[in-house]
Amino acid sequence: MLMPHVGTVAAALRAYRSAQAGLLHDPANLLRHRRLDDAAYTLCVLMGQRDAADAAAHAEAFLVKSGADRAARRPDQAQTAVP
């Protein structure tokens, strides 16, 4: 299974959270609604989910796991795409 790049997931999650906050700040602004819709769509596609809240939860779990994997890897170990 293809996995998204950690930086891409982090950026998409940041964009989604920022769009949520912007909409809460100004709920009547149609541009903020569009930004949230775009950010939610991107996050859903990236994480393979149909619901934005599920996609955000999966993204957060993915980032936590990626951070734990990276912390567990010793600096002298080479990263390879194929084991």
pTM check: above 0.85: no
Q: Where are the domains of the chain?
A: 6-65
What is the rounded average pLDDT of the residues 13-33? Answer: 96
Report helix angle 6-25 to 30-47, nearest 10: 150
pLDDT band per the 50, 70, 90 thresholds, residue 29? very high
pLDDT given at position 2? 80
Taking the C-alpha atoms of residue 36 and residue 52, their distance in angstroms, rounded to an integer, is: 10
What is the model's pLDDT at position 67? Answer: 83
Whether 44 and 51 have beta carbons less than 8 Å apart is answered as: yes
Contacts of 36 (CB under 8 A, 6+ apart): 16, 19, 20, 22, 23
**pLDDT digits 0-9 by tens, 31-73:** 999 999 999 999 999 999 999 999 999 999 999 998 856 655 5
CB atoms within 10 A of CB 51: 11
Residue type, 54: D
